[in-house]
Amino acid sequence: MKKLFTVAAVPLILLAQQACSTPLDVAHSQIGFTLTQMNSPMDGQFKRFSGDAVLDAKNPGAGHADITISTASISLPTPAAKAQAENSDWFNVARYPTARFVTSSIKPLGANRYQVSGTLSLKGQNHGVSAPFTISRKGALTLVEGVMPISRLAFKIGEGEWTDTDTVADTVQIKFSIAIPNSSK
């Protein structure tokens, strides 16, 4: 009986080893965004984030990612804009120091395009989000790149007087380029 258990456990152990998450290469990754204020685009990014991922272009359904972003690491064109973004009407970084994205599915779309869906947790709000992305190889890295539109108001980003979408548009484009070290398999 013991030998049967050991033989049966080997495939499970091998599967678990193949599905192990790989830490992101944050030095070669970027999470940015574009918002529209007074009909003018404004770019920003988050400078600190971490996470891990499993991604196999041959079996995208088995993939997943879990990414945590430091909201205080927001970078905007001016110090005043950064200070405004950190306050309670916007990201409220004192109360909500992190945002998190966890995938629920990855599906192939064809022609090296995929669709990721998951839950974004931001400023105490949890909402399902989805975005198309592409996969490419760059040396020892696999790059996952795409744009995810979100509703800032759904996440209570820009409360009070800032809910006016004539001043700041509701839709924000999150631009991501995530680097995952290639597995040594």
Rounded distance between C-alpha atoms, residue 176 and residue 51, angstroms: 13
pTM of the model: 0.86
Query: What is the average per-residue pLDDT within 70-80?
Result: 97
User: Is the pLDDT assigned to residue 184 strictly greater than 60?
Assistant: no
Provide the percentage of residues in the chain whose pLDDT is more than 90.
Answer: 81
Q: What is the CATH number of domain 21-181?
A: 2.40.128.110
Rounded distance between C-alpha atoms, residue 145 and residue 30, angstroms: 9
Residue ranges of domains in the chain? 21-181
Strand partners, 47: none
- Average pLDDT over the chain reads 89
What does the angle CA 66 – CA 96 – CA 131 come to, to the nearest 5 degrees?
A: 40
